Amino acid sequence: YPHPAVAHEPVIEAVASKLRGEGLHPFHLPQAVDMHEGGTCIRCKTCDGFACRLGAKNDAEVRLVDPALATGNVDLVLNTKVLRLLTDPSGSRVDAVEVEDDGRTRVINGDLFISAAGAINSAALLLRSANDKHKNGLGNNQSDLLGRNYMAHNNTAMMAIHPIRKNPVTFQKTLCINDFYFENAVRPYPLGNIQGLGKLQAGMLTARVKWAPEWAMGYFADRSVDWWIMSEDVPDPENRVSVDP
Ligand SMILES: Cc1cc2nc3c(=O)[nH]c(=O)nc-3n(C[C@H](O)[C@H](O)[C@H](O)COP(=O)(O)OP(=O)(O)OC[C@H]3O[C@@H](n4cnc5c(N)ncnc54)[C@H](O)[C@@H]3O)c2cc1C
Ligand code: SF4
């Protein structure tokens, strides 16, 4: 990495030290934030789950899309849904896309197409693009794997609450544990990853649990260390993306 790891704050450093004492291997979570000497990130409390008002998250928009648009060589077409990829008559090459915008359907031709519509919608697009040469969806004639073995992240937010001691952390999401990522001798399947969650605040909890009083949620949030537990589906051919005929 070009920059040093994002440092733990004291509470998280203490947790990391205790986990190491238990024989685990916690490490610094790699972060795509511009947090380094001379960087634009101010290490604030509203990173996880919020847009950055300083443009200090190194996401696709900040680092790629906006600079590409600034060259003047790129057109970004908004509010346009790709319906199907269209192949040449031989079925060996995609030479156009059919799109829908403002209720109109039109075709855009091109030399090169990249499908980057996400795990579900890329598969759905290829399935929708079935034609005479690709009856089960583009590129799916032989394997029938298109859209199958979908592996979702089954996420859990966990609060570890100390009844009295406060957690004054600002930027909590610096710690990561992969000790349970893979299968092992007692478990023939992987479990996933555990990482720090951006510090939970009272309003985030009352947004989910409407009946909960703000003062009580504030009490818990002030005293919790918060975790994001990202367990994963194991591959199953029947856990799949499909499209209506
Ligand atoms: C709640 C949440 C939290 C996450 N947190 C993290 C994190 O902390 N760290 C991390 O590393 N990753 C995180 N991820 C995962 C990360 O966001 C994804 O892995 C990443 O965004 C995938 O990028 P992508 O470009 O492949 O697809 P996407 O970002 O999903 O982009 C696909 C785009 O295609 C568009 N699209 C889909 N179908 C069509 C169509 N037919 N026509 C036109 N456009 C279409 C969609 O509108 C979308 O803009 C998180 C994901 C979620 C949902
Ligand atoms: S939102 Fe995140 S990237 Fe932006 S300043 Fe705050 S901590 Fe830094």
In a domain, 242, yes or no: no
Whether residues 159 and 221 share a domain: the answer is yes
Residue nearest to atom 4 of ligand 2 (CA): 52
Question: Residue 116: enclosing H or E segment and its boundaries?
Answer: none
Residue nearest to atom 34 of ligand 1 (CA): 117
- Pick the closest to residue 233 from 156, 151, 164 (CA basis): 151
CA dihedral 115, 119, 124, 127 (to 10 degrees): 70
Amino acid identity, position 17: S
CA of 226 to the centre of ligand 2 (A): 18
Ligand nearest to the CA of 35: 2
* pLDDT score, position 49: 86
Instruction: Using most ligand atoms within 8 A of CB, pick from 99, 121, 208 the residue to mutate for ligand 1.
Output: 121
Which of ligand 1's atoms lies nearest the C-alpha of 80?
43
Of the residues 149, 176, 208, which one is the last residue of a structural domain? 149
User: For the chain, which residues score pLDDT lower than 70?
Assistant: none
Of the residues 107, 130, 149, which one is the last residue of a structural domain? 149
CA of 35 to the centre of ligand 2 (A): 8
Pocket of ligand 2 (CB under 6 A): 33, 35, 41-44, 46-47, 52, 54, 56-57, 171
What's the rounded Cα separation, in Å, for the pair 197 and 29? Answer: 11
What's the rounded Cα separation, in Å, for the pair 178 and 25? Answer: 7
Report DSSP state, residue 76.
Answer: -
Whether residues 136 and 163 share a domain: the answer is no
Q: Looking at the predicted complex, does its ipTM rise above 0.90?
A: yes
Residue 118 near ligand 1, beta carbon < 6 Å: yes
Question: What b-and-e string marks burial along 145-170, b requiring 16 or more CB atoms within 10 Å of the CB?
Answer: ebbbebeeeeeeeeeebeeeeebebe
Instruction: Using most ligand atoms within 8 A of CB, pick from 34, 44, 171, 201 the residue to mutate for ligand 2.
Output: 44
Of the residues 121, 149, 177, which one is the last residue of a structural domain? 149
Which residues contact residue 170 at a Cβ distance below 8 angstroms, ignoring those fewer than 6 apart?
9, 43, 44, 45, 199
CA of 118 to the centre of ligand 1 (A): 6
Residue 191 near ligand 1, beta carbon < 6 Å: no
Residue 174 near residue 7 (C-beta atoms within 8 A): yes
Whether residues 104 and 127 share a domain: the answer is yes
Give residue 96's domain range: 77-149
Whether residues 143 and 177 share a domain: the answer is no
* pLDDT score, position 232: 87
Structure confidence by residue, pLDDT tens digits, 170-195: 999 999 999 999 998 999 999 999 99
Which structure tokens are listed for 105?
């359907």
Which of ligand 1's atoms lies nearest the C-alpha of 117?
34
Which structure tokens are listed for 45?
């409390």
Which structure tokens are listed for 212?
């909960």
CA 235 to chain centre: 19
The burial of 244, by beta-carbon neighbours within 10 Å (0-12 exposed, 13-18 middle, 19 or more buried), is given as: exposed
* pLDDT score, position 2: 83
In a domain, 48, yes or no: no
Q: Report the number of distinct structural domains present in the chain.
A: 2
Helix, coil or strand: residue 229 = strand
Structure confidence by residue, pLDDT tens digits, 60-89: 999 999 999 999 999 999 999 999 999 999
What's the rounded Cα separation, in Å, for the pair 197 and 174? Answer: 8
